[in-house]
Chains A and B, each alone.
Chain A
C-alpha cells in the first residue's frame, strides 16, 4: 500500500513537472480584486441608498406602512326616555368604478377586464341589471359612481368579488327610525351632514363625536404597530343624547292630532305633555310635520317647530292663571262669588261672554266652569292694572322661556303704559286676550299651578347618558315660588270641578282626578280676527299633580269649533295613554287610604 502510493506519487511528480507550471499568483490576486471591486461597489450602492436616498425612501416606506384613517364625522345617537333610537348613524358605502384598472384576482398583469365582465359579476350583489351597469360605466376611464347608499352587507359582498378597479367609500348616513315622530324637535342632517333644524342644529357640537385623524403604522397583515401613536387616538365614547320624550306617547299624540286636524280642516296642531315637577317634556307632537329621512319632499317652512315659535292668544285657558294671581294678591277669597250680568262695559267697549248669556251670581269654580268672561273681568278689576301687568311680566309672558328647544320665542305683552292707561287692556287680559304666548309657555304657566307655584324649565333633553354629570339636575332647586301652594291647590280644585262638570266624551276618566280648562280664542291676523285657535289644558292627577297636557289646534274651518270640541278629544286620547304609560295610580278611596297610611 505504502509502496504503491509512493510509486504513484513519484509517477505523478515526474509527469507534472514538465507539463504544469504553477498558477501565477497575479491571477489569484485578480480574482480577489474582482471580488473586492464588487464589494466596494456594493458599499457605494448601500451608501447611496441608506445615506443619500435614505430619508426619501424612509418617507415612502412610512407612507406605505401608515394608514391615515379620516374620521367619518360620526354623531351621537339620540334616544327617547326609554332608550328607543330616534336618530343614529348608519355606515353606508358609495361604489366607484375605475374601468381602466378592471382586473379579477389571479389575472396576470397587463390584463384589463371589459366593463361587461365586471358588470356581470356586480349585478347580483348590487341588484342592478348588467346592461344598466354597463350603461352607467359608459366609456369612462375612472371615477364612475356606480351606486350609493349601499349597506355594509352589500359592500362586503362586493369586496368578496375581489375585483380590482372598484372603490368602496364609506360614509355615514343619519337615519331617523321613528320617521316623522320627532322631526319637529330633533331636526335632521342634510345630504352634506350639516344640521338643519331642531336639536341636531342646537346641540350640533355636542352631538358630533370629536374624533381624531388616526395615523397608524400597520404590518401588511393589518396588525397595528405601537410606533409613534399620538395620545388619545383611540379614545372613543359611546354616549347618546337622551331625550325626555316618549316615542309611544308621541305617536299617540301625533295620530290624534292628525285625525283631528283632518276632521276639522285645521291648519296645524300641537300637543305638549310636560312633567310639572321638573319641566321634562314627555310629548311634543305637532302637525303638520315632515319625515327627516326624506326632508327634501317637504316645505322648509315645516322644519321649525311652530309650538315654540308662534304666538297665540291663550284665551280662556289663561283664566286659571289669572285667578291664581288674584288669589295670591288677596284681592279675592276662595269663598267669594262674582255677579255676571252677561256683559260689562269697560272704557266704552262692551265685553260679553262667549254665548252672550248672563250667568248671575256665581262662585269662582263656576266662573271657570262656564268660562265667564264677564266674571273674570270683574274679578281682575279688583287688582290694579299696574299690579296685574307686573304679575304678567313676573310670569314671564314677554320673556323667552329658558328651554333647550330651538328657536323658542318670547310672548308679546302690551307696554306697561298702555296696559295701565287703557282699562280695556286689563279687561281682555283677564280672559287671556290682548297678549300672546307660545303653547310651550302656556304649558309652563300651568305647571306653576300644578307644582305649587314653582317655575320649571321646559326641556326635551335629559343629557348625554353614561355621564351623570351632564344630566340636567332638578330645575326646582333654584326656582322661585310665584304662587303659594294654598293658592295653586285652590285653583286646581276649581279646575277639577270644570272637568267634573263635563259630560260624556270628555277627558273625565273614572277613578282619576283631572283638572282642565278649555280655550277658544279668535286669532287676529293683520288686526282682523279671522280664525280660531282651540286649546285645552289639563293637569293630572289632582291629588299629586305630575303632568300638564296642552293641546292647541289652530284654524279649524268648521262651525262649532271650540276648545271642548276640537282640542279636548285629543287631550283625552293622550291622557288615556299617559295614565297607562306612566303608570299613574287611580285615586280610589283605597289608594287614598294606602297613601295616607304610608
Chain B
C-alpha cells in the first residue's frame, strides 16, 4: 500500500499539532513583526550628534518647560525641566509627544483660497482689498486665543489703524480676568465642572500641590477629575447656583440640604478655600468665602490685557474675521463665530497649522508653523500668581511656505518689523523694568533681572531656555470687596422635557481617550451623534444600550445613538455640543 493523500494529510496534521508545542510559530510571529519595524518608509531617528536643547511648550496655556534630546535637527524625545517654577518638571502626554505634531498629515502646508493653493502675496492682496472695502457698519476683527502676548500687541496696533475694528478673544480665553490662583496656599477647591486634575492650569503645579488641598468636584458626570477628587457631588445641570446657595447657607448653619451639609465642614476646616467654574455659582461662593485678593485665594496680577469676549459682540456685525488658531488655546466654537459674521460676503481668514478646525470654514487658510517649528512666545502660565514670559525657540525646520500669524498681520499692515524683533522689544521691556528673576533651564538657577548685564544677554539667555517671572504683588490683608453676583435663570425640567441635556467635551483629552489612564468606557465609544446617559435613564425611557434614539429639546431635535454609562448621573444626557448651555430635553427610541 503506497503513501496516499490521506496519509499525507494525517502526517501534516501531526506536524501542525507538533509545531504548536515548539518555538517556531511564536518566534516567526515575533520576528516578522520586528522585521516590519525596519521596512523602508518606517521613520527612524537619524544617527548623529546628540544635543540637549531647551524650549517652552505652547500647546496649552500651562507654559511647561521642555528639555529636548535632539539628534542633529530632529528632536527625538521631550521631557520636563526639573525645578521649573511653573511646571515643576512635568510634561503632560501631549507635551511628551509634541515633536510628532509637525508630521501630522492634516496640517496646512501652503496658503489656500477657497481650498485651492495660492501664493501668499495673493492671499495678502485679497484680504487687504476686502478690508478696504468694509462698509461703515462692518467691522474687522481678529480673534486672539491668548490676549496679552507680543502677537496681541501686533494685532492691536494693526486694528488701531482701521476705522471699525475689534480685537477679541474666545469666550473662555480669560476665565479669571486679572486674577490668578494662589494654589500653593489654597486648602480647598470647590470645582463646578472644571477639570482640576485633568489639564487645569499647569498640571505639574497642580500635582505638586495636590497633597494640601481638598477637592470637591461638583458636576453631573463622574469625570476623571471626579474619580480622583476627595468628594464628588453630582448635581443636575442648571442647579449649580442653587447648590452654591445651599452651601453658603450651610456655612451659616442651615444644614437642610444634605449635600451642602457634607461640603460645608470641609470648607470650614480647610481654609482658605476657593470655587472655580463658569457661571454665577463659583462667583457667589467666592464672595461668601471672601478669598478675592487674599493669600490662598484669587490674587491680582500686574499684567492683564482685557480682551473683548467675541460672544458679546452684536450678531451679524463682523465682515472680516481673522482667526488665530492654536497658540495653546482650546477649540474655537464655530457656531458662535458664524453668528457674528455679516449674513453675506463675509471673509474668514484662518491663521492655523491645521486643515481641520476653522480652516474648514475659512475663505483663506494661512499656514502657521506647528509647535517647535518657529520662534514663538509663551506668555504668563495659566493661573500663575505672577506675570511670566518665556521664548519657545524652534527645534525643527518647517515646510517653506509657513508664516506665523503675527508676521501675516505685520505684512497686512505693511510693517517692516519682523515678529522676532517684537519679541526682542518685549525682552528689552523686561530688562528695563528690572523686576523679577529668570530661571534658566540648563542649570536650574535663578538670576535677578537686575543682575543680568544687558538686554542682549537676557535675550540670549531666554533663547537658551529660560522663564522670566515677575515679583509678586503684596496680597491685601483685607482682600477686595466682592461685587454682587447675578444669578442666571437655569432651564428646569418639565413633564414634557423631563431630562437635562448638557454639552460634553466632544474630543477626549489630547485627541485620544487613550492619552489618559482615567478614561471612561463610554469615551471609547464616543462619536458626534452619541448621547451618553445613565442606564436607569435609558431603560426608563424604553431604550437599549446602543439603540438609535431621538433627543428633543425645545430648540432642536437630534438623531443619536444611545450609550449607557453609569458615570453620568440619572436624569442627564451628555452630547457632543461645544459651548451650548444646558437645556431640558426628552428622549425616545427612533
Do these two chains really belong together in a complex?
Answer: no
